[in-house]
A and B are shown apart, each in its own frame.
Chain A
Amino acid sequence: MTVIRAVTAGLALLLAAACTAPTAPRSETSPAAGTVCARPKGRLPAQTPTTIEVVEQAYFCILGNYYSGATMDARLLLTAGFIALTRELNLNGRDVSEATMPALTGDREADWTAFEAVYRKVADQVPDVRDKLAVVTLEAIVAGLDDNHARWVRDVGKAPPGYHDGDGYGLGLAASVNGPQVNGNPGAALPPLFVTTVEGGAAQAAGVRPGDIIESIDGSAPFIDGKPTPAIAALYPRYPEVDPVELQLLRQSTGRRWSVTLKPAVYERDLAALQGVTPKLLEDGIAYVRVRGFTPDAGDRVFKAISRLRTGRTLTGVVLDLRGNGGGRAPEAIRLVSAFVHGKVTAYLCTVDAKCEALRTDDTVELLNLPLAVLTDRSCASACEHFSSAVKDLGIGKLVGTRTAGAVSGPSEPFQLSNNTMLAFPTRHHLGPNRETLDRIGVPPDHYVPLTPKDAAAGRDPALAKALTLLHK
């Protein structure tokens, strides 16, 4: 299953994209009747090249299965594909006189036929870039959905040399703008840009520290007039990107300004810090549990951790730290909600014609009967927002920190294409317990407590401090 390898090998910073798209267990997904693409069964055979036939299959797969596939204007997809196609020709210095967008009528089949005819004419003239043309076209069609849970999953190559399970790849740091704020919702980013975590690698070797303000990246400002620039994405190179990145840094405590050149590489990470669920007993009987993702056993791991902290002592409250939690399986988010309330709806999944399924608490989960505070940030995405919105709407706890990512269009479901790659996208959209739209909006905290560079430098956690005062009341 090369797709999985691509994801596992995909290292930390692929996570923003990869982790926000939960995959429904196959048993829960109905067979897509009368469609051109099937649910994957078992392991996928080796991937074969992407051809125009694969693009065609993807186009009709989307129209037949995607959330708004039945009602959307399919011309938008073909236009997005054609734009990418012509850009690729241009990039290769291989423009072709026949590469003119055909007139589209709104008839999906006829429009495809017209598109394919032009595509073939163009591709025949540039056989050496033919495969690449199909790839960029398909990528653009999927991107044309403008849906943060729609993606085309394929094996994009091997892990970097020397990569071991648990390693990171990149500069070895995370900054205040990361994950969904870079890729999904850039409007969420706020200045200043500063280092929040030094994980290892080049950043650690260069003496970069949390709280260091990043004034420029390869000579470009991260914000212009308060708006984030594409330069920020250069903080998170992915293999095989290997070009060094130059950062101009400011350490507020000393006033020192200097620049470092960091070369992307594989770096070792602290295994303890990679664990999905990490509990800690805080003062006055507060159970703190960090949940890094809604992995298949996340709910049970949290329950076991709390039960262990509770043995032989009285707990007074729970802090769930969901900062940086990129989501995962919705059933785990539901189970976690169910430890705090029963008999409620945690979310709705709705078709484009507003037929909604209510997702309900799992009332077999034992209630903890403890006050709850939840730490959120702009990287809490997907299932993490499902959980956070339920906490807020159902009144089972307080959210502290910053607004969630707003990357929760709907649960991503896999469809296999004929070249053994996969399309994944929602067939239904996600609404909160009050039937409100969360996607692109996120869940606002009850208490807005952003992290500042000074806090990061001093190792202070003002959001956690706020949560503790709330629980002590």
Chain B
Amino acid sequence: MRLLLAAAAGLAVLAASACSAPAPPRSATRPSATPTGPAVLPAPTGDHPVGTTILYVNDTSRPDPWNLDVGARELKVTLWYPTERKEGERAPYMTPKESELFLRGSAIAGVPSDTLSKTRTNAIKDAEPAGEKLPLVVLSPGFTKPMSSLTALAEDLASRGYVVAGIDHTHESYVTTLSDGRIADCIACDSDTDPGFGARVVQGRAADVSFVLDQLPAKWDGSGLIDRSRIAMVGQSMGGASAMAAMLEDSRVRAGIDMDGSTYARIPKSGFSRPFMFIGSEQHVPGGGDASWDRDWKLLTGWKRWIAVTGTDHQAFTDIPLVGPSLGIEPVHGVLPAERGAEIARTYVAAFLDRHLKSQRQPILDKPSSRYPEAKLCPEDCGQS
């Protein structure tokens, strides 16, 4: 399913397939439309201006799972948070080098290599955090994607009063810039055809999440604003699968959302009772091509939702459709406009978090919404594909 959806999105994500199963060609994706110039991320919808800053943490208790020459796991964490500062330098979306390596890894050619670094963000770089008892959301991107691929969602959550800690899982993205400027490449990409690859990745990511939660108080001045009893995790694709894995390993994570990611972690037969939401592309329905959500759904014994969004593909909840025009990538026929996909992702993710971390009633999670008819509540409201 991962492969199918990735192929549909027109970006070369590698397949975890056995042996010589036909793989999608790794030919360059040639832009079919004229690039539009730099992308502008949609404005956050919450009440607060947003600040952002970068932290580096180094887990010396375990070796890097991919780079066997490194005896520790170094992680880059991007924080987004409410601030009172309205003016200031916007944080860069990516560095020119990150843009170059991400485009190269994704086999996107035909645009200047620094294109993505010109993407306009909304968060003020290194602004002072503001607020009190803020809930915390850990964010985890898809495999091969840098954390910045979820910036639109992260900024929106911060504007609504959440502290967001986005993790770049080193060597699982085409590019991660580490503390001293070193560039970590996608070593995990070498082994993504191994059976059990997904299970290995989410195991490692769960450890990454626990370590970041351990380190945040010491490493970030603003961490006093965080209410550590209210922590959730949200991820896309492999990141979503990792949300499940992290919750199973770490009880501090109280609720989780998986955006269109086939899952790999083993839920105990006795079930799992913390709140969890699957939100998937239109094909990600019960009885569809991905059996992993059907398998896990039966074992979720607490508050749970499964939402399939019509007119969306695998990348719909990421920034990829938003920045696509700047890369000359034409929208896939029949797919929702990028801004609409982003709006739905922001709305439903925030509704879930407001429901479970802020105890607010959220009718859109309980019945079909006339404002968001694309979002089908499964299994009742969504047909089998």
Q: Which of B11-19, B30-38, B367-375 is the contact stretch?
A: B11-19
Q: Closest chain A residue to B7 by CB distance?
A: A43
- Chain B nearest Cβ from A62, distance in angstroms: 19
Q: A274-B194, A274-B195, A276-B191 are in contact. Are A3 and B22 (CB under 8 A)?
A: yes
Q: Are A297 and B27 in contact (CB under 8 A)?
A: no
Q: Which A residues lie at the B interface, using CB under 8 A?
A: 1-5, 7-10, 12, 14-15, 18-23, 25-27, 40, 42-43, 46, 158-159, 161-166, 268-269, 271, 274-277, 293-297, 300-301, 304, 308, 311, 326-329, 412, 414, 422
Main secondary structure of the interface of B (DSSP, over half): loop
Chain B residues, Cβ within 8 Å of A26: 25, 27
Q: Which of B72-80, B197-205, B250-258, B335-343 is the contact stretch?
A: B197-205
Q: A166-B196, A166-B199 are in contact. Are A295 and B19 (CB under 8 A)?
A: yes
Q: Which B residues lie at the A interface, using CB under 8 A?
A: 1, 3-4, 7-8, 14-27, 68-69, 189-191, 193-200, 203, 262, 264, 266, 289, 291-292, 295, 385
- Alpha-carbon gap, A297 to B195, bound state (A): 14
Q: A1-B3, A164-B266, A165-B199 are in contact. Are A414 and B22 (CB under 8 A)?
A: yes
Q: Are B191 and A19 in contact (CB under 8 A)?
A: no
Of the candidates B23, B197, B200, the one whose C-beta lies within 8 Å of that of A23 is B23
- Alpha-carbon gap, A433 to B112, bound state (A): 44
Q: A166-B196, A301-B190 are in contact. Are A40 and B22 (CB under 8 A)?
A: yes
- Chain B nearest Cβ from A344, distance in angstroms: 24
- Chain A nearest Cβ from B165, distance in angstroms: 27
Of the candidates A20, A276, A422, the one whose C-beta lies within 8 Å of that of B194 is A276
Q: Are A271 and B1 in contact (CB under 8 A)?
A: no
- Alpha-carbon gap, A5 to B203, bound state (A): 23
Q: Which of B1, B195, B199, B289 has the most CB of A within 10 A?
A: B195
The 8 closest A-B pairs by CB, nearest first: A166-B196, A19-B19, A7-B21, A295-B193, A274-B196, A297-B190, A23-B22, A271-B196
Chain B residues, Cβ within 8 Å of A7: 17-19, 21
Pairs across A and B, CB under 8 Å, 11 listed: A4-B17, A4-B22, A8-B18, A21-B20, A25-B26, A43-B7, A161-B295, A165-B196, A275-B194, A293-B20, A304-B190
- Alpha-carbon gap, A300 to B1, bound state (A): 26
Q: Are B291 and A295 in contact (CB under 8 A)?
A: no
- Alpha-carbon gap, A402 to B203, bound state (A): 38
Q: Are A25 and B190 in contact (CB under 8 A)?
A: no
Q: Are B21 and A18 in contact (CB under 8 A)?
A: yes
Q: Closest chain A residue to B190 by CB distance?
A: A297
- Alpha-carbon gap, A19 to B19, bound state (A): 5
Q: Closest chain A residue to B202 by CB distance?
A: A165
Chain B residues, Cβ within 8 Å of A297: 189-191, 193
Q: A8-B21, A158-B291 are in contact. Are A300 and B196 (CB under 8 A)?
A: no
Of the candidates B3, B199, B385, the one whose C-beta lies within 8 Å of that of A164 is B199
- Chain B nearest Cβ from A446, distance in angstroms: 27
- Alpha-carbon gap, A133 to B144, bound state (A): 45
- Alpha-carbon gap, A308 to B68, bound state (A): 9
Q: Are B20 and A19 in contact (CB under 8 A)?
A: yes
Q: Are A2 and B195 in contact (CB under 8 A)?
A: no
Q: Are A10 and B18 in contact (CB under 8 A)?
A: yes
Of the candidates A3, A43, A326, the one whose C-beta lies within 8 Å of that of B8 is A43
- Chain A nearest Cβ from B2, distance in angstroms: 10
- Alpha-carbon gap, A18 to B266, bound state (A): 26
Q: A1-B3, A19-B20 are in contact. Are A165 and B197 (CB under 8 A)?
A: yes
Q: Are B21 and A163 in contact (CB under 8 A)?
A: no
Of the candidates B16, B27, B199, the one whose C-beta lies within 8 Å of that of A8 is B16
- Alpha-carbon gap, A271 to B197, bound state (A): 8
Chain B residues, Cβ within 8 Å of A42: 7, 24
